[in-house]
A = this chain, B = another copy of it.
Amino acid sequence: MSCPLCSTDGGLVVARTPQFRVVRVLDEPAHPAFYRLIWNDHVAEFSDLSVTDRHACMDAVTEIERALRSLLAPTKVNLASLGNVVPHLHWHVIARFDGDAQFPAPIWAAARREAVPVLARPLEAVDAAIAHSLASATRTRD
């Protein structure tokens, strides 16, 4: 029983804390502004976390959402923790744009068109903003 989120980072790591890492997802070309918060410990469900960890997790998800909103002005941000295939707690944080491949359907629905959003800023700027905000949040909690 090997878990891919225990044995690999699961994407391009943009931030790490003792509890979780945030990665940029590289294998969803139709949705380039797609990040995941991956809990480091192998737990399946959000409710397996302590209340302190749950709040820290969602505070970080919020920081990712804010970086996306601030730099890319998406039509909507989508948040999801599914884990049916890989039951190791992770949160999808996805910038959605009017006219992207499935909009307004979820990204897991059939594509309605071939389209890749043109982003207002390079993804490296988003990566840096996420890393900075999570480092700041961690320092504030010290």
Binding site for B on A (CB under 8 A): 44-47, 51, 54-55, 58-59, 61-62, 65-66, 69, 75-85, 87, 96, 103-106, 108-110
Contact = CB atoms under 8 A, between A and B. Distances in A.
A89 to B, nearest CB: 10
Given A81-B79, A108-B106, A45 B58 contact: no
Contact of A84 (B65, B69, B103): B103
Which of A44, A65, A81, A87 has the most chain B CB within a 10 Å cutoff? A81
Contacts of A45: 65, 69, 76-77
B80 A82 contact: yes
A34 to B, nearest CB: 14
A120 to B, nearest CB: 17
